[in-house]
Amino acid sequence: MTLHKMLLLLGLLSCIPPGVAADGLPAAEWAAREMRYIASQFPGRLAGAEREFAAAEYLHIQLSSMGYQTHTQAFDTEYNYVFANNVRQRRLLQSRNVIATKPGVSGQVIVIGAHFDTATTLHEVHEGVFGGEQLQGLDDNASGVGVMLALARELANAPVQHTLKFVAFGAKELGMKGSQAYLDSLPPAERSRTLLMVNLDSLLTGDALYFNAGKRTVAANPAAGAARDRALALAAALGIDARSNPGLHPDYPAGTGCCSDQESFDKAGIPVLAVEATNWSLGKGDGYMQTALPGVTGGSSWHRPDIDNLARLPQLLPGRLEQRARDSLRILLPFLLEASGARPAP
């Protein structure tokens, strides 16, 4: 083999996504590798940007290679901003969800979702440089997508009673557009057969894992908090520090979360389990301050290219990717096996 051919081959080998090549890895290490891969290979994956499409392609390949029936759901949406001088800017664009299905036998459905887009900035809209900024979104939300993929990988052969749908949502950062588009696309019968939505968003920077229910569904029927209570009980039995919103802020009642794709489902009357890492006891008690760690100035890494990246976050929080992936999977795997009717949790 000539040197040229060898270099070419090495180049090709390095293009193999780690998840595909590393199938022997334990689930948590595998999830952490997915987080790193998505953050590093698809930075600036904001709604409508080329990198959002490329990330969707990657997720499609990963989920279908696990044996899931996988399809991409494109939807039209828009940026709609009002600038300081009251100038309105509207920009139409297309985003997409990636949906992987494992059919059950009961006719009922459990959705496990995580958004894969990153936030955008007014500067990007103004300059028309979508994807130009290098926000890696490691915490928000390569972390949730990595854990979702690992759950899909672990559950691919589980004998589920209820259908599992893994949905990677686009355009969350424009106001939960992907989850709304998903719900809008469902026939009313499937909506009413959706038992639960589990949302994974930002699992790294925050001081602890939180499990919350939906504000509206719980207000209508406290039984909608059952998934939250079950996840917390599993965490307690495993000795994992998992919490629920203590309700220090009047707008966010105890035990309920906010501000991610589960809200679309909560509004549609579907019980939700919102999984995130933050610290609801800090700041205004609204969940927006993730940590008191001095290196995270202001207490939050959300939407910050300077912190939410592979150079900075693992330096501030050594071992955090693997640890959070492990904790999340140790709770959520038995939880989902039980909730889907595949196997009772220990």
Binding residue for Zn ion (CB under 5 A) from 141, 163, 217, 328? Answer: 141
- Pairing mode, strands 194-200 and 163-169: unpaired
- Pairing mode, strands 242-243 and 208-212: parallel
Omega into 279 within 30° of 0, i.e. cis? no
256 binds Zn ion (CB under 5 A): no
How many Å is the Cα radius of gyration of the chain? Answer: 20
What's the closest the beta carbon of residue 263 comes to Zn ion, in angstroms? Answer: 12
Nearer to Zn ion, 131 or 144 (CB): 144
Nearer to Zn ion, 34 or 230 (CB): 34
Nearer to Zn ion, 43 or 334 (CB): 43
Please tell me the distance from the alpha carbon of residue 157 to that of residue 180, in angstroms, as a whole number. Answer: 29
Nearer to Zn ion, 313 or 339 (CB): 313
What's the closest the beta carbon of residue 192 comes to Zn ion, in angstroms? Answer: 28
Nearer to Zn ion, 34 or 140 (CB): 140
Count residues binding Zn ion (CB under 5 A).
3
Nearer to Zn ion, 141 or 194 (CB): 141
The strand pairing partners of 70, in sequence order, are 100
What is the full DSSP assignment across 114-164?
EE--B---HHHHHHT-TT-S----IIIIIIHHHHHHHHHHHHTT---SSEE
201 binds Zn ion (CB under 5 A): yes
DSSP 8-state secondary structure symbol assigned to residue 258: -
Binding residue for Zn ion (CB under 5 A) from 117, 133, 140, 327? Answer: 140
Q: CB under 5 A: which stretch of 72-80, 135-143, 292-300, 335-343 binds Zn ion?
A: 135-143
Backbone angles phi and psi of 24, in degrees to 5? -80, -5
Q: CB under 5 A: which stretch of 90-98, 194-202, 206-214, 246-254 binds Zn ion?
A: 194-202
300 binds Zn ion (CB under 5 A): no
How far from 205 is each of 97, 201, 289, CA to CA, in Å?
25, 11, 10
Residues at the contact surface with Zn ion, assessed by CB under 5 A:
140-141, 201
